[in-house]
Structure 1
């Protein structure tokens, strides 16, 4: 059994945001299983002509593991391509568990998450000095349950930068939960398909973001970003490049 399964972070959509390591694996993979409901098919353009490519959107866990097992036993290299970074809402935990039970070798290659691509699209830094030094990554509860302590209404009390996955279809509920602690005038934005050619950006505040999202026709594949970091005027500069600030690599200049 010389084959192997490699989980790959396929990035947010733009094929050029695929890591070089992931690109090299896709290029030589014998079997590619990709999350077709989210992964941009163009990410796989570098695959070899005789590679077997399967869209996992129509497959269940047993079918995915069965294909992996048969391929690896035949000495095949399997690339399992997930959107963004597979560690965030990638559903790789149960796949890893299944592979371990079958004693199948695997590896994980990280990728560029969509919340990073959303921040780039919004031309913002998610952690600004004296504004927010914390980023909360979460999702609203849907068919997948959440621990009660992780409810958005409870996380909102930190008033940190918040990046909310898988919530745009219930934007009103998300906003209502956020308003338990954030002010109505708190900046908010929604980025649909960040880094894709048809990327769409909606900006507003918690007061009006729901209406703007509906007017833009955004119903899925979008990131909600909330926090004062989206208001980029009057930024307090970081100490890192302050000419008067001394650190390990540079002595500060006194006026």
Structure 2
């Protein structure tokens, strides 16, 4: 028996990997966050599979479901939105499973920030414009941010910065990034990336907060800030250069 942590993708059901889809089809138990994971993925479950929406469950209750499946000899498809390597709360589950000697593995998925970049038709690393991407969030009611990971400190690099779980504090984001990036720095917000109800906002740090407020976006959105969003006339990549060694 194995618990399969599976990246279910950013929202569109067809953005799951083939491996993830096949693991769902073979698992007798499926745990998923109903508010974030597309319900269409449950159609891949075996007809008699146990399906558990974890949206209202505590960590202890989730672990109890995994342990019960283990004791019954059942594989589990544990679906996480996006890619489970970032902002998924997977680490705390794996820590508990390690202590209980319950085996598990991880299947990556399409992360939300990648879906947002795709919707914007932008590469987040452009030659001689930006070669670093920072993935972060804001301090909120959730766990505290480690020292040195505030936006003022991170923004000193002026790298492309991508924020999860922060659109409800867009005014704070602007206030903390503007001193380093400048008010005219390009900014974008993609809500419900890859879904039919996707919303894309483009602007600068000077006007993006007002756009978010007008659009009524409060959650499930990615904020992107950086010069790459408006990069033009940049140097071609050396990857396909005729001058590179072959």
Per the normalisation by structure 2, the TM-score is 0.97
In 1: Cα distance, 2:39 partner to 2:165 partner: 20
Partner of 2:53: 55
In 2: Cα distance, 1:213 partner to 1:205 partner: 12
**CA offsets 1:70-117 (integer angstroms, 9 cap, x no match):** 111111111110011111001011100111111111111111100000
Residue 240, structure 1, aligned to residue 223, structure 2: no
How many residues align? The count is 245
Residue 128, structure 1, aligned to residue 110, structure 2: no
Partner of 1:142: 140
Q: Residues 129 and 231 of structure 2 are in contact (CA less than 8 Å); yes or no, is this contact kept in structure 1?
A: no
Partner of 2:80: 82
Q: Where in structure 2 are there 5+ consecutive unaligned residues? A: none
Q: Where in structure 1 are there 5+ consecutive unaligned residues? A: 251-255
Larger radius of gyration: 1
Partner of 2:70: 72
Q: Residues 13 and 43 of structure 1 are in contact (CA less than 8 Å); yes or no, is this contact kept in structure 2?
A: no
Partner of 2:160: 161
Residue 203 of structure 1: CA displacement? 0.4
Per the normalisation by structure 1, the TM-score is 0.94
Question: Runs (4+) of structure 1 moved beyond 2 Å?
Answer: none
Residue 43 of structure 1: CA displacement? 2.4
Partner of 1:96: 94
**CA offsets 1:127-175 (integer angstroms, 9 cap, x no match):** 0001000000000111221012000111000000011000000100011
In 1: Cα distance, 2:41 partner to 2:193 partner: 15
Equivalent residues in 2 for 1:1-255, closer than 5 Å = 3-143=1-141, 144-243=143-242, 245-247=243-245, 250=246
In 2: Cα distance, 1:54 partner to 1:208 partner: 42
Residue 224 of structure 1: CA displacement? 0.1
**CA offsets 1:19-39 (integer angstroms, 9 cap, x no match):** 111000011111110122221
Residue 235 of structure 1: CA displacement? 2.7
